């Protein structure tokens, strides 16, 4: 019995990511999408739901000797600050997407995200 429990724990899959609340600014809805390997931000016009653009924020490399799904990393939070969309991932890393050029750069999270926004350690 104990062996069955230990075996089940050892091969347990990761839980699905929590839904990310989209953010709205200037008539555009920004949402997070991805499969854990590739994570994107999608901008859609609110009035028509038409996709305006999509940009890859980050890619997660996986090690083939480790179960893949436990290596996946998802976006956890989005915030619009000025002309940038700030993105936080499950590892606590932050990225800034320029809303004009759609360029992505790694950045400091600073005090942008509250304690409730931060992933559990």
Neighbouring residues of 18: CB distance < 8 A, sequence distance ≥ 6 = 76
* Domains of the chain by residue range: 20-61+71-114
Q: Is residue 107 within 8 Å of residue 86, measured between CB atoms?
A: yes
Tell me the CATH number for domain 20-61+71-114: 2.40.10.480
Contact (CB, 8 A) for 77 and 89: no
Q: Exposed e or buried b for every residue in 65-81, given b needs 16+ CB within 10 A? A: eeeeeeebbbbbbbbbe
28 contacts 97 by C-beta, under 8 angstroms: no
Q: pLDDT value at position 114?
A: 59
Give tens-digit pLDDT for 32-83: 999 999 999 999 999 999 999 999 999 999 899 888 888 999 999 999 999 9
């Amino acid at each position: 019995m104990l062996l069955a429990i230990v075996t089940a724990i050892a091969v347990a899959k990761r839980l699905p990511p929590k839904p990310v609340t989209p953010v709205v600014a200037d008539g555009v809805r920004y949402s997070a999408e991805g499969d854990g390997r590739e994570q994107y931000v999608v901008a859609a016009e609110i009035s028509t739901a038409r996709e305006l653009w999509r940009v890859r924020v980050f890619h997660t490399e996986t090690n083939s000797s480790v179960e893949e799904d436990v290596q996946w990393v998802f976006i956890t939070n989005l915030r619009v600050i000025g002309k940038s969309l700030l993105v936080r991932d499950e590892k606590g890393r932050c990225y800034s997407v320029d809303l004009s050029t759609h360029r992505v750069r790694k950045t400091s999270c600073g005090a942008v995200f509250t304690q409730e926004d931060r992933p559990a350690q």
